Amino acid sequence: MSSQTTTVGHDEVAALKTVALRGGLREPVKVSCSTLGERLGASSQTASRRLQRLDAAGLLDRDVVGDGQWVSVTGAGERRLRAEYADYRRLFEGEAGLTLAGTVTSGMGEGRHYIQLSGYHEQFVERLGYEPFPGTLNVSLTEAAVRARAGLDSVEGVPIDGWEDDERTFGPATCYAAAVVADGERFEPVHVIVPERTHHDEDQLELIAPAKLREELSLADGDEITVRVTDAERADDPAPVGTANGGSA
């Protein structure tokens, strides 16, 4: 499938929102392209193309019948709408970041290996400002947190570049600044690390920190924690022009 077919822009998101407002988040709803086009200020042909793109992108399920079509918003579609919602909250309410709840779980032990690879490790030290503990804390998110996770798209993260050695290519990732709260105790700095290519499901979160979080917060598998994500800044960003040496702009 071509990338052009699955491209989703603001017009398609507007159509997705319209379907959701008609109840498509809860159950399939019947729509006609002419009615949808009127709501969107577009022709019925344009409305039909937008639904087709949403379907191709996996944001909408469609069942075309003789006098219209039954449509419903998929899980991916709901996450896209929640990301839009997070952007508007930040715009009008000054909200930056999000809170994710979950329970501590054991991973597959791969975090230790990848974090110590020189191509990643050097970037962590330089861009995050600390040397991470060789391992990750794995968190299984609640259903509500899985839905809220889409808000990560509206939070500023620190990019970790991909790289390669003589044997293979390693993909890029993004690190989001966070604090972990457990049983009234708080630890930071922490970063949520989200690889571009990952085998983890949306309900799994990986955290890195300069110390072993299980020991710092006395955590065991099954313990409930809260991860508070905020905008991240690169530790190696230069000082703004005019502020060095106490100067002013």
206 a known binding residue?
yes
110 a known binding residue?
yes
Q: How far apart, in whole angstroms, are the C-alpha atoms of residue 69 and residue 52? A: 11
Q: How far apart, in whole angstroms, are the C-alpha atoms of residue 19 and residue 53? A: 14
111 a known binding residue?
yes
171 a known binding residue?
no
151 a known binding residue?
no
Q: How far is CA 67 from the centre of its chain?
A: 38
Beta pairing class for 185-195 and 204-208: antiparallel
Q: How far apart, in whole angstroms, are the C-alpha atoms of residue 97 and residue 27? A: 30
1 a known binding residue?
no
Q: How far apart, in whole angstroms, are the C-alpha atoms of residue 202 and residue 156? A: 19
- Rg over CA atoms, the chain: 22
Contact 146, 198 (CB under 8 A): no
107 a known binding residue?
yes
213 a known binding residue?
yes
- Nearest CA to 217 out of 176, 177, 187 is that of 187
198 a known binding residue?
yes
Residue positions forming the annotated binding site for CDP: 107-112, 211-214
Residue positions forming the annotated binding site for Mg(2+): 136, 138
Residue positions forming the annotated binding site for FMN: 198, 206
Residue positions forming the annotated binding site: 107-112, 136, 138, 198, 206, 211-214
